[in-house]
Chain A
């Protein structure tokens, strides 16, 4: 197919043809084309269907504000819906499809919706589908949700990579039009660290779309020269294809760089996009402005476009939507389009200017004081109908209409921190208000300086001021002579009429819808937005909000500034979920922490479980074990009968030193630590300020002024943070120093009747492990395997004779291998977190399930640990009456009366007979397991007044699953309640 609407010139490279397809049809474009420009050059105006009514739509703009020409790019896992054809750069083999249509773009069955437009007005779904009530959730809502939306996803995983990045600069300049380039030149020449970001792939902004000269150079050439100078500066970073999408706190800006969207697929290992966080000391917003339309009946046909966009396609991309283009304007800028088109050889049948005093036009008929009141053309514009100044009607045949209603400064980023723009009467537009994000200034068209000279001067001035704030000196450079035409405009928002005049093309919102919203008493613009869906979706109303506000103002009799705008929020343009996720996807979703025995455990075929970021061995299956319970039961039994080994490195270890270390621990723990002898370990319970149990663990005293505190795995960070807070803020006068040593030591629990015998084989001979020399709760520094430094603690979580042995982490792998080899004669087993859990339940030790943020020391049966002889965190509030009642929850054991019954965790305890409801709740099961030692399921539970209810029978009720189990309340210490084993 020929490029029938390709013009001469432009900034494309006509020596580099590119093949692409749209809806399966092959076309040719050139390097430098966008999908939109290439389709226009090929005579394609119909590019999509509208959201609600499925009306035929074509491209309207030439930039990121595009509401209409939304397409699906690529295919398979890379298929991306709702992509604006105006910013999709062409490459060879480029593949695009239209969306939201069936079976084809030209023949869309859902266009039937348009016939029912009277029933599908704003908020129709709030008023209809009301009866019968039950239908809403099951029928109406699914149908509506199915019909809503635009493009589609394939459901395949995205194969691309996305990076995140961080930049630091003195000045971030947002937008590389004349203002941005001049600001960058000024700041760059002064030596400042500059980041210049522009969403386009070619810097220059409107300079690339206009025919103005700067000095004796065409605007685009001046821009290219400026970019070349900036590129030569080491202190300037140029970022094309980079949208600054959000202004965040403290001068931080979000920038999406599309590094590989303009090629078919990124190279292996290279990202498709990068989400940058830019930390700027100052930012200069040079985001330009967006042209707005004038609404008239059926103004949504393919071929009705913004005048500035038509001009941009002609000048930059050498493309035109048609060879016959009429102009409809309320300002002088529309006349530029006429002049540029005529210069390019495009026929302009008429310039329709609503102003009776419109300036003269050369080369086209001027219809001053006229208005476009309608259009024709099923899949593309063929004719516009006018009402002339005289009142007479007239039709003009044309394939495109270039509309200009004036320009709106792009104030979006100025409002991202709830700033409000202010009204400018001369422009009939909002300009940046006074409440800008910290460190931001605005220049150029974004500030309302719509001339090229204004932009250049404003950019330079803003850069000088920004650098001045930073104590740097820069001079205003000599500016090239540039266009300085004042804005001449008569505000005009919509042509009065009965038909549907479109304000928001993306969401199918018409003037009528806004009127309806007003009629139904939606007074606030925020309500208007939500009722009509105006300004939502990918374009965020960049081309539509102002028109709707104007209509709303007209309805209410208020001025536009009184009516106000909706809140502008990031992102300025859509940011893909992939970019937000960055590299944190799949198994890299979060960093992983590996235990010292991980390599060895993996060799044993261990099943791993995530515990926070840690990967811990859950159990170690052996040949013949095809169910996890078999492995876990065996590990428990082998440990209780002989000896087992478990990697407990993940428990937090905090080194506490200082002359006041003991006093500090006395304040941190509910129980006393001051008199703990050197060489001993003590179990400790920490409370929160409100008296609720926070964490438990042990503290080992290695010297008078030196302890090692252990925490639970889950609370390692929290406890350390709380201790650091206490040290720095609560008791800064205490001499205490803290540092984490969790990672520095590989630590293994060696538990079971043969634990001592096993350890004696690896601990160097000079260390006596006998019960007399190293009794229960002893600790000390030893050596193992011929001199490796180690720490030994005689503590037990399993209830068995047990030790924890620690070596520098690098030797952790060696130690587990040595222990396993030494334990062979005792039939040693490694055990994982499941067996660990079973054994601690059998022993009645509380863990995370019991320290669940609602329980007190009293509930846990540890009430007497809260020392009355000293103060500690949580001491006072733990004495509250309500937390110390006779029938307070107490930790007990539960055991099914019928040994074959399960104990479902989370079940609630009720009387044997009677109702099962919250009012009769006696308590709940926190932990449950099958005990291979007892041959039955067991559980730990909190039961009201539990200590006095031993032997009582209760019902375990699980109403969610409809199960009930008769249980007996027993001691939580199912195994060795007297503790003889662990002291043996």
Chain B
């Protein structure tokens, strides 16, 4: 039997890139993701073990952290999302679980989400039309949970001019439509 072909959240074999005005909207498909939730009373141990085994400092509320090849952002009380390159870490959840052992529950989240990275000087103007996250006040690395045109999403300020929006995969087309519409609106 032939190997199965992977599709992107937007339903193609290659990731979509749109450029509208000065903004680039890029479908990001090269990241594996795993959620990490500390077991009861083991948040400190989870953080210590993650730091020791993965070299990654699990971030505080509303923040993200990075230690190659991993990045992490805060998702909820004692809960984080860790990501890494998909091709080299397709089994990220197993990898993290192996590192952390019984102190945390780890769940594969790679295909639960779609991600778009938007780059350009007008990135704050764009999100102003999409969600109530106070992006202009968010420092680089800050992450917040918001709603983008009625789609629940993480909005992650990567740099001054680059923002990632991570939302449920099945809504990728609706989210993409909203991004394109808003980008056209402000272009």
Contact = CB atoms under 8 A, between A and B. Distances in A.
Contacts of B113: 743
Interface in A769-810: 784-788, 807-810
B18 interface: no
B170 A614 contact: yes
A592 B40 contact: no
Contacts of B112: 740-744, 809
B174 A583 contact: no
Contacts of B169: 743-744, 809
Give the interface size class of chain A: 35 or more
Contacts of A277: 132
Contacts of A588: 174, 177
Interface in A583-604: 583-584, 588, 590-596, 598-599
Interface string A163-202: 1111110000000000000000000000000000000000
A709 to B, nearest CB: 13
A108 interface: no
B16 interface: no
A787 B6 CA distance: 13
Interface stretch (A449-457, A653-661, A966-974): A653-661
Interface string B90-132: 0000000000000001011111110000000000000011011
B44 interface: no
A462 to B, nearest CB: 23
Given A163-B182, A590-B150, A598 B111 contact: no
A737 interface: yes
B178 interface: yes
B1 A822 contact: yes
B43 to A, nearest CB: 12
Interface in B126-162: 128-129, 131-134, 136-137, 149-151
B130 to A, nearest CB: 8
Contacts of A161: 181, 185
A270 interface: yes
A867 B182 CA distance: 53
A593 B39 CA distance: 32
A739 B151 CA distance: 17
Given A614-B170, A737-B39, A740-B112, A786 B1 contact: yes
B132 to A, nearest CB: 4
Interface string B30-45: 0000010111110000
A583 B170 contact: no
Interface stretch (A427-435, A813-821, A830-838, A883-891): A813-821
Contacts of B3: 785-788
A594 B132 CA distance: 25
B71 interface: no
A741 B109 contact: yes
A965 to B, nearest CB: 41
Interface in A648-679: 649, 655, 657-660
B108 to A, nearest CB: 6
A166 B37 contact: no
B1 A762 contact: yes
Interface secondary structure of B, over-half rule: mixed
B170 A743 contact: yes
B68 interface: no
B6 A743 contact: no
Nearest to B182: A163
Interface in A703-754: 705-706, 733-737, 739-746
A168 B137 contact: yes
Interface string A265-294: 000011100100101000000000000000
Contacts of A744: 108-112, 169
Nearest to A269: B184
B175 interface: yes
Contacts of B133: 166
Interface in B166-183: 168-175, 177-178, 181-182
Nearest to B29: A810
Contact of A810 (B7, B35, B173, B187): B7
Contacts of B39: 658-659, 735, 737
Nearest to A615: B170
A810 B111 contact: yes
Contact of A168 (B7, B134, B151): B134
A788 B112 CA distance: 17
Contact of A594 (B38, B107, B170): B170
Contact of A595 (B40, B136, B170): B170
Nearest to B75: A739
A741 B170 CA distance: 12
From A270, A583, A741, A786, residue with most partner B Cβ within 10 Å: A583
A737 B105 CA distance: 7
Contacts of B111: 743-746, 808-810
Nearest to A583: B181
A737 B80 CA distance: 12
A592 B173 contact: yes
Contacts of A568: none
Contacts of A784: 1, 4
A528 B154 CA distance: 51
A591 B171 contact: yes
B50 interface: no
Contacts of B172: 594
Contact of A658 (B7, B40, B171): B40
Contact of A739 (B41, B107, B134, B185): B107
A811 interface: yes
Nearest to B38: A737
Given A591-B175, A598-B11, A735 B4 contact: no
A822 B2 CA distance: 11
A737 B102 CA distance: 13
B65 interface: no
Contacts of A812: 7
A810 B178 CA distance: 22
A613 B171 contact: yes
Tell which of A271, A274, A705, A809 has the most Cβ of chain B within 10 Å: A809
A500 interface: no
Contacts of B187: 269
Contacts of B2: 785-786, 818
Interface in A311-358: none
Contacts of B29: 810
A742 B149 CA distance: 21
A593 B171 contact: yes
Nearest to B1: A785
A845 interface: no
Contacts of B175: 591
A818 B1 contact: yes
Contacts of B170: 593-595, 614, 649, 743
Nearest to B146: A166
A810 to B, nearest CB: 4
A608 to B, nearest CB: 13
Given A613-B171, A739-B37, A583 B110 contact: no
A785 B4 contact: yes
A591 B3 CA distance: 32
B30 to A, nearest CB: 12
Given A599-B11, A762-B1, A814-B5, A658 B131 contact: no
Nearest to B133: A166
B8 interface: yes
Given A593-B171, A739-B35, A740-B112, A163 B105 contact: no
Given A599-B7, A787-B3, 12 more contacts: A161-B185, A165-B129, A584-B150, A588-B174, A591-B175, A734-B40, A741-B109, A741-B112, A743-B170, A744-B111, A786-B3, A810-B7
15 contacts: A279-B134, A584-B150, A592-B174, A594-B11, A594-B170, A596-B7, A598-B11, A599-B7, A658-B40, A660-B40, A785-B4, A809-B169, A810-B8, A814-B5, A818-B4
Interface of B: 1-8, 11, 29, 35, 37-41, 79, 105, 107-113, 128-129, 131-134, 136-137, 149-151, 168-175, 177-178, 181-182, 184-185, 187
